[in-house]
Structure 1
Amino acid sequence: MDTAVEQATRPFIEVTEIWRPEGDTLVQAGGNYGGLDAFEAISGHTSFKKGEGLPGKAWAEGRPVVLKAFDGSYFKRTEAAKEAGLTAAVAIPVFAGEELKAVLVVLCSDDDIRTGAIELWSEKDGYLMLDDGYYGAAKHFEWVSQHTHFPKGQGLPGGVWASQTPILMRDLGSGYRFIRSESAGKAGLTTGLGLPIARPDGENSVLTLLSARGTPIAHRFEIWDARAAKVGSANSAVMIDGICDREGPLWSEDNPRRISAWQGPIGQVLGSGLPVAQKSAPGLPAGYSDVVGLPIYRGSAIAHIVAWYS
Structure 2
Amino acid sequence: MDTAILATPRPFIAATEVWLPSGDRLVHGGGDYADLTAFEAASIRQSFARGEGLPGKAWDEERPVVLKSFDGSYFLRAEAAREAGLTAAVALPVFDGKKLLAVLVVLCAGDETATGAIEVWRGQDGLLMLADGYYGAARQFEWVSQHTHFPKGQGLPGGVWAARAPILMRDLGSGYSFIRSESAGAAGLSTGLGLPVPLPGDDSCVVALLSAAGTPIAHRFEIWDARAARVGAAGGAELTDGICDRDGPLWDEDNPPRVQVWQGPIGQVLGTGLPVVLSARPGLAAGYNLMVALPIHRDGELSHIVAWYI
Q: In the TM superposition, what is the alpha-carbon distance from 1:299 to its structure 2 partner?
A: 2.6
Q: In the TM superposition, what is the alpha-carbon distance from 1:234 to its structure 2 partner?
A: 5.8
SS at match of 2:153: coil
Residue 157 to residue 234, structure 1, CA distance change in 2 (3 Å): farther
Residue matched to 2:247: 247
Residue matched to 2:225: 225
Q: In the TM superposition, what is the alpha-carbon distance from 1:249 to its structure 2 partner?
A: 5.7
* Aligned-partner Cα distance in 1 for 2:269–2:22: 18
CA deviations 1:110-161 (Å, max 9, x no partner) are: 1000100000000111110000000000000000000000011000000000
* Aligned-partner Cα distance in 2 for 1:29–1:79: 22
Residue matched to 2:213: 213
Residue matched to 2:107: 107
* 8 Å CA contact 2:278, 2:284 repeated in 1: no
Residue matched to 1:52: 52
User: Any unmatched runs of 5+ in structure 2?
Assistant: 1-5
* Aligned-partner Cα distance in 1 for 2:300–2:44: 29
Which residue identity is paired with 2:103? V
Counterpart check, 1:29 vs 2:45: no
Residue matched to 1:174: 174
* Aligned-partner Cα distance in 2 for 1:248–1:132: 31
Residue matched to 1:305: 305
Aligned length: 303
* 8 Å CA contact 2:243, 2:249 repeated in 1: no
Q: In the TM superposition, what is the alpha-carbon distance from 1:186 to its structure 2 partner?
A: 0.2
Two-structure CA RMSD over aligned residues (Å): 1.7
Which residue identity is paired with 1:183? S
User: Post-superposition, which runs of at least 4 consecutive aligned residues in structure 1 deviate over 6 A?
Assistant: none
* Aligned-partner Cα distance in 2 for 1:110–1:8: 17
* Aligned-partner Cα distance in 2 for 1:239–1:187: 30
SS at match of 1:145: helix
Counterpart check, 1:287 vs 2:291: no
Residue 166 to residue 234, structure 1, CA distance change in 2 (3 Å): farther
User: Any unmatched runs of 5+ in structure 1?
Assistant: 1-5
How do 1:75-94 residues align onto structure 2 when only pairs under 5 Å count? 75-94=75-94
Residue 7 to residue 140, structure 1, CA distance change in 2 (3 Å): farther
SS at match of 2:130: strand
* Aligned-partner Cα distance in 1 for 2:210–2:152: 20
* 8 Å CA contact 1:264, 1:282 repeated in 2: no
CA deviations 1:233-269 (Å, max 9, x no partner) are: 36300000001100366259xxx81001111111111
How do 1:128-143 residues align onto structure 2 when only pairs under 5 Å count? 128-143=128-143
Residue matched to 1:3: none
CA deviations 1:22-47 (Å, max 9, x no partner) are: 01100000001111111001100000
Residue matched to 2:270: 270
Q: In the TM superposition, what is the alpha-carbon distance from 1:7 to its structure 2 partner?
A: 11
Q: TM-score scaled by structure 2?
A: 0.95
Identity of paired residues, percent?
A: 69
SS at match of 2:121: strand
* Aligned-partner Cα distance in 2 for 1:8–1:73: 33
* Aligned-partner Cα distance in 1 for 2:249–2:116: 26
Residue matched to 1:260: 260
Residue 162 to residue 251, structure 1, CA distance change in 2 (3 Å): closer
Q: TM-score scaled by structure 1?
A: 0.95
* 8 Å CA contact 2:241, 2:251 repeated in 1: no
Which residue identity is paired with 1:51? G
* Aligned-partner Cα distance in 1 for 2:46–2:91: 16
Q: In the TM superposition, what is the alpha-carbon distance from 1:87 to its structure 2 partner?
A: 0.5
* Aligned-partner Cα distance in 2 for 1:269–1:79: 33
CA deviations 1:54-88 (Å, max 9, x no partner) are: 00000011110000000111100000000000010
